[in-house]
Structure 1
Amino acid sequence: MDYRKLETVCRRAALEAGAKIMEIYEADDFEVKSKSDESPVTEADEAADAMISAALKAAFPDVLIVTEEQADSHAESAENFLIVDPLDGTKEFVKRRGDFTVNIAYVEAGVPVRGVVYAPAKGRLFYTTADGTSVEETGDLALDQAGALKPIKVSTPDNNALVVVASKSHRDQATDDYIAKYAVKDMTSAGSSLKFCLVATGEADIYPRLGRTMEWDTAAGHAVVLGAGGQVLRFDDHSPLTYGKPIYENPFFIVTSPGVELKDA
């Protein structure tokens, strides 16, 4: 894979999709439908998916693209593949809460090695550069020229005063019980893959997820965390979370700075 080309194409695709999503988000009304699993899908999901898929196919015609909105792709597999969630956090989008993201990642041999997470309503853009390190881009976020790039790095945590991030829409008693095992200084909540990015930037030390997720929900954020020196581990045995699993479904997991002393499940 040409990582420089990958960085350029994925960054631009995320920004273009984000602009389309915001156009729909800021409209007076938009259509919301239910998928077979009763999760919501909007015209923004579908429009962003079409734009990103077209850009990736044009640039990387020989690479498998797995995307949430194209069910046929969920039955395909390859050692190396692109994986997309065109609008992660649809519930946040529908409620107009702003915590939604565009996620694009590239997986090699089970590891998400490059990724882009763009939160258009918040104007925050995170990605792994061609050399594998993670940055947050600031400024105008122009399509054809990157702005200022700020390298990001996970925290050096104080295990007696941890900052924990958890889901806005999927918080449950099991998650609260696990968090209670730690010495917590502060709790924050966020939607979509922004939780990964808060760990990647050091704004939070740990994010436990005890709920169902799919690989397109997590791969881009996972790549950003790895490029910032963090870890994404299975909840059950603390081994690295891998990709390309059957139907692209994840087990429970923990996103963490390596300095956090993890508690058993």
Structure 2
Amino acid sequence: MNYETLVTAMRRLALEAGDKIMEIYNSDDFDVKVKSDSSPVTEADEAADALISAGLRDAFPDMPLVTEEQADSHDVEAMTFLIVDPLDGTKEFVKRRGDFTVNIALVEDGVPTRGVVYAPAKGRMFYTDSVGHSVEEVGPFDKETQGETTPIKVSEADNSALMVVASKSHRDEATDTYINKYAVKDSKSAGSSLKFCLVATGEADIYPRLGRTMEWDTAAGHAVLHGAGGRVVRFDDHTPLAYGKPGFANPFFIAYAPGVDLKEG
């Protein structure tokens, strides 16, 4: 895999998908359908998926591709593959709250190593560079030319005053009970994979997720966090969260800066 070619393609496709998503987001109305798992899907999800999938298959025809919106790709059995959530945070999109992202990642031997997370409504884009270090690019964005980037790094966590980020749409009593095990200075909510990026930039120290997620929800954010010095572990035994699992469903997990003293669940 040529990482420079990959990162260039992922960045460009994320921006192109973001433009398509925002065109629909800013329209007077858009259709919302319900999938078999009761989650919403919009024409923006489908348009972004078609664009990204075509671009990745053209550039990397021999690499397995898993994408949320193509059920036949969920039968892929591989430990190295590309994985896409074309619009993560569809509920936030439908409510026009802006906390949605385009997620594209490479998983190698069960570990997300390269990824891009683009939040078009917020004008924030995070990705791993060709050597695996994470950056945030400062807009306005040009699809063909990379703009100014800032290296990002996780916080030096203060365990007596932690910054916590949790899900905006899926926060529940179990999550709050776990968060209360820590000395928390402040807590914020965010949608989609932006939570990983807030830990990656040091804007938060820990993100616990006690709820259902799929690998396409987390791989890009996981890669960005990993490239900023962070970690993602299973909630139950604190072993690294692995990818390429049958069905691509995740267990509960914790994303955090390594200085955080993790509590048992």
TM range (shorter): over 0.9
Q: How many Å apart are 1:139 and its aligned residue?
A: 2.4
Match of 1:30 in 2: 30
2:262 is the counterpart of 1:242: no
Amino acid corresponding to residue 19 of structure 1 in structure 2: D
Match of 1:5 in 2: 5
Match of 2:125 in 1: 125
2:94 is the counterpart of 1:94: yes
Identity of aligned residues (%): 74
Q: 4+ runs of 1 displaced by more than 2 Å?
A: none
Which SS does the other structure have where 1:66 is aligned?
A: strand
String of CA shifts for 1:137-181, please: whole Å, max 9, x gaps. 002110011111100000001100000000000000000000000
Report the Cα distance in structure 2 between the residues aligned to 1:236 and 1:263, rounded to whole angstroms.
11
Report the Cα distance in structure 1 between the residues aligned to 2:140 and 2:252, rounded to whole angstroms.
36
Report the Cα distance in structure 1 between the residues aligned to 2:139 and 2:97, rounded to whole angstroms.
22
Match of 2:55 in 1: 55
Report the Cα distance in structure 1 between the residues aligned to 2:163 and 2:12, rounded to whole angstroms.
32
2:122 is the counterpart of 1:138: no
String of CA shifts for 1:197-239, please: whole Å, max 9, x gaps. 0000000000000000000000000000000000001000111
Match of 1:228 in 2: 228
Which SS does the other structure have where 1:102 is aligned?
A: strand
Q: How many Å apart are 1:79 and its aligned residue?
A: 2.4
Amino acid corresponding to residue 92 of structure 2 in structure 1: E
Amino acid corresponding to residue 177 of structure 1 in structure 2: T
String of CA shifts for 1:124-147, please: whole Å, max 9, x gaps. 000000010000000211001111
2:116 is the counterpart of 1:116: yes
Match of 1:214 in 2: 214
2:190 is the counterpart of 1:197: no
Where structure 1 has 5 or more consecutive residues not aligned to the other structure, the ranges are none
Contact 2:124/2:139, CA 8 A, preserved across alignment: no
TM-score (structure 2 length as normaliser): 1.00
Report the Cα distance in structure 2 between the residues aligned to 1:146 and 1:167, rounded to whole angstroms.
30
Which SS does the other structure have where 1:178 is aligned?
A: helix
String of CA shifts for 1:88-132, please: whole Å, max 9, x gaps. 000000000000000000000000000000000000000000010
String of CA shifts for 1:5-62, please: whole Å, max 9, x gaps. 0000000000000000000000000000000011000000000000000000000000
Contact 2:125/2:136, CA 8 A, preserved across alignment: yes
Which SS does the other structure have where 1:221 is aligned?
A: helix
Report the Cα distance in structure 2 between the residues aligned to 1:195 and 1:171, rounded to whole angstroms.
13
Question: How many residues of Structure 1 are paired with residues of Structure 2 in the alignment?
Answer: 265
Match of 2:152 in 1: 152
Match of 1:174 in 2: 174
TM-score (structure 1 length as normaliser): 1.00
Report the Cα distance in structure 2 between the residues aligned to 1:221 and 1:207, rounded to whole angstroms.
12
Give the CA RMSD over aligned residues: 0.4
Contact 2:79/2:243, CA 8 A, preserved across alignment: no
Report the Cα distance in structure 2 between the residues aligned to 1:139 and 1:46, rounded to whole angstroms.
25
Where structure 2 has 5 or more consecutive residues not aligned to the other structure, the ranges are none
Report the Cα distance in structure 1 between the residues aligned to 2:246 and 2:173, rounded to whole angstroms.
28
